[in-house]
Structure 1
Amino acid sequence: MHDNHPSLPEFENVSLEDSYVLDIAVHPGLLTLKLDLLLLPRHPRYRAPLPGERACFRRATVVFSSVRALHWTGQSVVKAAIDASGSADYGSVDALIRLDEDSYKILGDWGEIIVQSKAPSMSIDPSPTD
């Protein structure tokens, strides 16, 4: 099966392509992506942007657990962009593709990762108003 954004409830009504990757961490058995995640209006945690905000962004973490194999190419070209507030990001998640039952390809300005693991999970950090 080849699908962008695996068919999991956590990935519904979000836009990875318009989100920002804040960090990527690899540890034995674990791959973690920290995001400034764009929530779409139909997402249950969506709220209208406040004055000065262009959209509803929330901090989130995507976790690939029980990693059995991981191959990351293109790391040598990774350079963080610094925005006007001084925050760094590594671009977006251009694609998250399920290759088969337990393999995923993740693409972005930071390279390409192919990972064999359990299905990814995503948690959205609570905002101060939640």
Structure 2
Amino acid sequence: MHDNCPSFPGFESVSLEDSYVLGIAVHPGVLALKLDLLLLPAHPEYRSPLPGERACFRPATVVFSNVRDLHWTGQSVIKPGIDASGSTDFGSVDSLTRLDDSYKILGDWGEINLRADAPSLSIAPDPTS
């Protein structure tokens, strides 16, 4: 069975493909991806971009808990990109799919295959409200 990211609860109306991966942390039993997450207009926390912003981005974290098995390939090619402001990121999440009882995550930072509980998404509060 294959499911794409929007079918995961809490991932509706966000675009991982247009978000930026700021960091990836692996700890015993946990995988966390720190993101600058793009919220789409249908998302309940969406707000119009402020002057100078190109879209509605918010700090967020995708967490896989109860990790039972994890394989991360392609780490040797990780080189962060640096934008004009000096901020660094590791590209985007090109895909996040469920394959029966496991997950596959692809991006410029490599490929992660893991067996874990379903991912959760937490979005930081809007600093302008």
TM bucket normalised to smaller: over 0.9
Letter in 1 for 2:67: V
Give the whole-Å Cα distance in 1 for the aligned partners of 2:38 and 2:126.
Answer: 13
Could you say which residue in structure 2 is the equivalent of 1:16?
16
Provide TM-score, normalisation by structure 2.
Answer: 0.97
Q: CA deviation at 1:6?
A: 5.3
Give the match for residue 3 of structure 1: 3
Instruction: Note if contact 1:6-1:97 (Cα within 8 Å) is conserved in structure 2.
Output: no
Q: Normalization by structure 1: what TM-score?
A: 0.96
Structure 2 spans left out of the alignment, 5+ residues: none
RMSD of aligned alpha carbons = 0.9
Does 2:60 correspond to 1:60?
Answer: yes
CA distance in 1, matches of 2:96, 2:3: 8
Question: Quick check: 1:77–1:110 contact (8 Å CA) kept in 2?
Answer: yes
Q: Count residues with an aligned counterpart.
A: 129
Of all paired residues, the percent bearing the same amino acid is 78
Unpaired runs of at least 5, structure 1: none
Structure 1 residue 4, shift from structure 2 partner: 1.6
Match of residue 106 from structure 1 = 105
Which runs of 4 or more aligned residues in structure 1 lie more than 3 Å from their structure 2 counterparts after TM superposition? none
Taking the TM superposition and a 5 Å limit, the aligned residue runs for 1:1-130 are: 1-5=1-5, 7-100=7-100, 102-130=101-129
CA distance in 2, matches of 1:27, 1:6: 25
CA contact (8 A) 1:37 1:57 kept: yes
